[in-house]
Chain A
Amino acid sequence: MKPMLDARARNGVRPDSTWTGIMDCAVKEVFQIMLQTDLTSMPGSGDGAPVGDTTAMVGMAGALCGVLTIRCTSHTAESITARMLGSSGPVKPSDVTDAIAEICNMVAGNFKGKITALADRCMLSVPTVIRGDDYEMVSIADGEQLSLCLAYGGSPVWICLAMHN
């Protein structure tokens, strides 16, 4: 059983202007270590809505409540999976789901680990993956959102942290 979040965790942590840079660093580190790939910034893509038919989500609860999503096309997800596995051939759809979920999980863990106020006061859910692009995510609680778009081999990978007030 997971321990209940303690009283300290109920005191929420407010995002600040450094968080986008921290998230950028957290994502790039995961791709660098697990895929030996450098993600680059994708100029001009930050204003558009995320697109792609593969979305991984990890819930965060405690001092920060929200959802971290990573979204890309299935083609990009397959390429990420093949690289993670060191495979040059086709990859199984179940491995793609698994790999994208794990990337999202590692990004969430790496991100919160870089923020002292969150590291020990925020828990992560088991990841969920959505296949298909005909959906819209609507957060019931108004809160801030942190988004960035990075290029993986020239293809966009969207990272979004929707936070609850």
Chain B
Amino acid sequence: MKNKRILIVDDSSVMRKIVERSLRQAGLDLAEVVEAGNGIEALAAVREGVFDLILSDINMPAMDGIEFLRQLSTIETAKGTPVVMVTTEGSESRVVEALSIGAKGYIRKPFTPDQIKERVTPLLEVLR
């Protein structure tokens, strides 16, 4: 699984680094990792390029992950890009809401690299 272009959306820069490290520990050969601190920055990144996978937090300032997902669905070049929510959100309704508007899965924080691998690998294998 080589040359994947990934977008990581989280208001915590530490968490973005941890997610990237976990992806690498999971054995993914990442061509490029782009970081965004909220949904607005993420939408700007998506308009500039195509990603193989997007990992997004839900609870963020400025624009949260749910609104990001809604607006993402209107961007033609992003259609088909799998989005996985990475969240502390213990609320099932928020996760269900994310899944109902296009998220392909979710990972609850705290997470292990194995949990990232388990969720992400099948989505990237489809793209191979």
A residues whose Cβ falls under 8 Å from a Cβ of B: 1-3, 29-30, 33-34, 81, 84-86, 94-95, 98-99, 101-102, 105-106, 108-110, 112-113, 118-124, 126
Contacts and interface: CB of A to CB of B under 8 A. Distances in A.
B64 A30 contact: no
B111 to A, nearest CB: 7
A105 B108 CA distance: 12
B110 A30 contact: yes
Interface in B56-97: 59-61, 64, 66-67, 87-94, 97
Interface of B: 11-15, 17-18, 21, 59-61, 64, 66-67, 87-94, 97, 108-112
Query: For B13, B64, B97, B112, which residue has the most chain A Cβ atoms within 10 angstroms?
Result: B13
A101 B11 CA distance: 11
Nearest to B13: A98
Given A99-B12, A113-B90, 6 more contacts: A2-B94, A81-B14, A85-B17, A86-B21, A109-B88, A124-B89
Given A1-B67, A109-B88, A124-B88, A102 B93 contact: no
A110 B91 CA distance: 11
B64 A110 contact: no
Contacts of A86: 21
A34 B110 contact: yes
A105 B18 CA distance: 15
A94 B17 CA distance: 13
Contacts of B60: 126
Contacts of B11: 126
User: Quick one: which of A1, A2, A84, A112 has the most chain B CB within 10 A?
Assistant: A2
B109 A109 contact: yes
A98 B12 contact: yes
A118 B90 CA distance: 9
B62 to A, nearest CB: 10
Nearest to B90: A113
B92 A120 contact: yes
Contact of B110 (A2, A81, A110, A118): A110
Contact of B18 (A3, A84, A113): A84
A106 B88 contact: yes
A44 B16 CA distance: 37
Given A33-B110, A81-B14, A85-B18, A120 B88 contact: no
A45 B97 CA distance: 43
Contact of A119 (B61, B66, B91, B97): B91
Given A29-B110, A98-B12, A126-B11, A109 B90 contact: yes
Contact of B89 (A84, A98, A109, A121): A109
Contacts of A102: 12, 14-15, 109
